[in-house]
Amino acid sequence: MTDQTYPALATANRNTSPTNASVKTQRLANQIMLFAIALVVTIVFAFPIYFMVSSSFKAENEVLASPVHIIPEDFQGIAQFQKAFETVPLGRYFFNSFLTAGIDVVVTVFFSALAGFGFAKYDFRGRRIFFFFILTTMTIPFQVLLVPLFIEVRSFGWDDSYAGLIVPGIMNAFGVFMMRQFAYGIPDELMDAARIDGASEFRIFWRIVFPLLAPASASLSIIIFLWSWNNFLWPLIVIKNQDLAPIQVGITAFTQAHSAEPQWAVAMAVSTLATLPVAFLFIFFQRYFIEGMTMGGVKG
């Protein structure tokens, strides 16, 4: 095939001659069919989330109505949300979750950038072995750490405390790995220019490198927030005091509700609230959200 026929054929293949009406109809039919399939698939996947949100406005006996009420018939307004705050210390739960996730994000992003920069741009003794060490911690499932980490934290006197809840999660190997990849891309000349101006190495990091890592920091912040916010297993075992429990643990009061009247609508209201911060991040920072998640490979 010669060079001349190639582009002609390619256009013929894609842009099938606009004069041909039957081909046009065919393409429209294709479009409609694709949309229809995608719509059905999307409804199947999005329905449980819609059910969660809509049920938080339903009356208790309406949640399990069969067939399901797509739109709440006995609309409750924010009554179930108010009830949720009365039933459990929801404000505390949210405060604890925001506190944990906030500290996790700030500390992880700072130290990941610092270490990632150190690994990418300096050549010191032990660089390879230290990096390999941090990388291997990524392969360790948390279940393996569960027992010994709990015993260690307990020996510090940190069980059932904010320190025990927060400190083991303030650094993240994935963050170091990710920041190192991005730090490689920073030109050495920028750093050298600053050195000639007499800037210290830390100042170079703080004033030049860290701002340049902002897009990576944004993705990392979101993924760390997500992991921290959705974390369940560690707070489950380290926290006994309900006043220190994050929302994901606090919410379990509703999963094991063996009481005479299970409060499904209230549970849905709490679930909706607990998902709101993540949904907010997804809607407003979609690009960073998706980039962070795709790189991280673990759903929170």
Partner 1 sequence: MAVRTVKGSSYIARRQYWGLAFVLPTVIFFAIFFLFPILSGIYYSFTDFTLLKPPVFVGLQNYQDLLKDRLFLKSISVTLGFVAGTTIPAWILSLAAAVLFFQKFKGREILKVFFFAPVLPSLIVVAIVWKILLHPSGVLTTVLRPLTGAGEINWLDNPALSPISMIIITNWTIIPFYMLIWLAGLTGIPTDLREAALVDGANRLQSFLRVELPLLRPTAVFIAAISTINAFQGFTLQYAISPGKGGPIDVNTTMSLLVWKYGFQFYRMGDASAVSMVLFAMIMIVIAVQLWLTRQNQY
| Residue list 137-156, contact with partner 1 (CB under 8 A) | 137, 139-152
Site residues for partner 1, 242-281, by CB under 8 A, read 248, 251-252, 254-255, 264, 267-268, 271, 274-275, 278-279
**278 vs 14: CA distance, rounded Å:** 40
Dihedral, 215, 114, 122, 192 alpha carbons, nearest 10: 60
Which amino acid is located at 194 in the chain? A
Q: Does the footprint of partner 1 cover residue 134 (CB under 8 A)?
A: yes
**Binder among 22, 66, 241, 259 for partner 1 (CB under 8 A):** 66
Least distance (Å) between residue 290 CB and partner 1? 6
Least distance (Å) between residue 293 CB and partner 1? 7
Least distance (Å) between residue 49 CB and partner 1? 4
Maximum distance among all alpha carbons in the chain?
A: 80
**12 vs 136: CA distance, rounded Å:** 52
Site residues for partner 1, 154-183, by CB under 8 A, read 167-168, 170-171, 173, 176
- Give the total of residues touching partner 1 (CB under 8 A): 98
**123 vs 109: CA distance, rounded Å:** 22
Site residues for partner 1, 68-127, by CB under 8 A, read 68, 111-112, 114-115, 117-119, 121-127
Q: Which is nearer to partner 1, 25 or 31 (CB)?
A: 31
What does the block give as tokens for 120? Answer: 């990418």
Site residues for partner 1, 214-243, by CB under 8 A, read 229-230, 232-233, 237
Which amino acid is located at 228 in the chain? S
Nearest Cα to Cα of residue 215 among 123, 292, 112? 292
Least distance (Å) between residue 297 CB and partner 1? 4
Q: Which is nearer to partner 1, 131 or 182 (CB)?
A: 131
Q: Which is nearer to partner 1, 95 or 282 (CB)?
A: 282
In contact, 185 and 81? CB cutoff 8 Å: no
Q: Which is nearer to partner 1, 203 or 243 (CB)?
A: 203
Q: Which residues contact 238 (CB under 8 A, 6 or more apart)?
A: 150, 153, 158, 159, 160, 164, 165
**Distance spanning both ends of the chain, measured CA to CA:** 51
**62 vs 65: CA distance, rounded Å:** 5
Least distance (Å) between residue 286 CB and partner 1? 8
Site residues for partner 1, 14-33, by CB under 8 A, read 14, 31
Least distance (Å) between residue 116 CB and partner 1? 9
